[in-house]
Amino acid sequence: MNTAVTVERLEADAPSTDYDPYANEVLDDPYPHYEMLRELGPVFYLTKYKAYGIARHAEIDPVLRDPATFCSSAGVGLANFHTTTPWRKPSIILEVDPPMHARTRKVMGGLLSPASINRMRAMFEREAEELVDRVLAKGRFDAVTDLCEAYPLRVFADAVGIPREGRDKYLLPYGDMVFNAFGPVNERFKACLAKAQDGAIDWIAEVCKRENLTPDGLGMQLYKAADEGLLEPEEAPMLVRTMLSAGLDTTVFTLCNAMLSFSRFPDQWDLVHANPSMSRQALEEVLRYESTFHSFYRTTTREVEVAGVRMPAEQKVCVFIGSANRDPRRWGETADKFDVTRKAAGNLAFGTGIHGCAGQMIARLEGEIVLAALARRVKRIHLEGKPVIHYNNSVRGYTSMPVRVEAA
Ligand code: OVV
């Protein structure tokens, strides 16, 4: 007699969807789509891209805190570096796992720590005041080009210590490519790569060299860390490249999202205007409500179960952090409300875990300073036309946003 018993399997297969996170119509307003994804279940399967997806806060957070199971060394985009050749040499901090990661992250973390970046505050504030002077004198201006792009292109690139010549032309197109590369090789990716190959990639490689950096900037400090033996000599330019890849488009788009949110919700601007010391908290709510970075991937190193759903090894898993930041399970019934008085801490705009944004303190510093400078002098931000979205496979921002500011 056959006495074999069947082992009860508690894991289920993930629900499937043919949803395309990268379609223009989705990028125009992703939030209703995110609700649909969250309602599919804790884990779903994107048939169009053969990848798993997670859109709820409760499940994304632990995935990002488990780099042994959900690794970065196969790339943090849709492309699996084990099977396809990346468009550039992989990053030595973003696209690596422990133990390699700890060494580069430690150096980068030191340079970008609150103590180090506090020394930049005075310069950042001076530049913000000057910029706000200029836009107030204009009254009507383009918030994207005249403010949101102008500020990081000046202060962050000066902090890194690269030449001023060429910044306007090459820095943002390079970052655009970096962030498009976290999605599929679609028409958007191809057009962007063609543009980046027309000068930006070569320019970036050039300005990362020691001889092109100012003596007191963050870039040169990376070379000094190599002199001290904390990095291999060839790693210093790679980490300058990381700063220039991750630090421009992101802060530009965060400022765009702030300007748009405060023009759409003047009652929220009233609060910040009345109390400019709220600027840092207000920026945190901008990051939650309109995340800059919306989605990226990890790759499973083994078969794993998340919330009762089984995923095989070597699978791409897309984490929709822009959705986690609107998840009512985490933020309550008012998740879709822009509310600068809320406790927005715990949002995943900068990711979390060992790969959580190394530059988040400097990013917050830039945002806080610009908002505070505006808050002290601007009573109202009026949108004067439809903002033009900048379509990108993983980050969200604008190419133009006509505004008028009313002086206080
Ligand atoms: C977090 C991030 C974004 C983009 C590029 C990089 C890192 C990099 O290390 O190059």
Q: Is 246 in the pocket of ligand 1 (CB under 6 A)?
A: yes
**How far does residue 95's CA lie from ligand 1's centre (Å)?**
8
pLDDT digits (tens, 9 = 90+) for 210-221: 999 999 999 999
Q: Is 242 in the pocket of ligand 1 (CB under 6 A)?
A: yes
Q: E strand or H helix at 405, and its extent?
A: strand 402-407
Residue 9 predicted with pLDDT over 80 = no
Residue 7 predicted with pLDDT over 60 = no
Q: Is 112 in the pocket of ligand 1 (CB under 6 A)?
A: no
Q: Is 178 in the pocket of ligand 1 (CB under 6 A)?
A: yes
Residue 12 predicted with pLDDT over 80 = no
Choice among 5-9, 185-189, 251-255, 270-274 with the minimum mean pLDDT? 5-9
Q: Is 63 in the pocket of ligand 1 (CB under 6 A)?
A: no
> For residues 197 and 176, what is the distance between their CA atoms, to the nearest angstrom?
12
Residue to probe by mutation, ligand 1, list 111, 177, 178, most atoms within 8 Å of CB: 178
Q: What is the mean pLDDT of the chain?
A: 96
pLDDT digits (tens, 9 = 90+) for 280-300: 999 999 999 999 999 999 999
Of ligand 1's listed atoms, the one at least distance from the Cα of 94 is: 9
Q: E strand or H helix at 381, and its extent?
A: strand 378-383
Task: Name every residue whose Cβ is closer than 8 Å to that of residue 7 and which is 6 or more positions away in sequence.
Answer: none
Residues in the chain: 408
> For residues 358 and 108, what is the distance between their CA atoms, to the nearest angstrom?
7
Nearest CA to ligand 1 atom 3: 246
Residue 396: its pLDDT value, please? 98
Q: Is 93 in the pocket of ligand 1 (CB under 6 A)?
A: yes
Phi-psi region of 371 (alpha: psi -120 to 50; beta: other; left: phi over 0): alpha
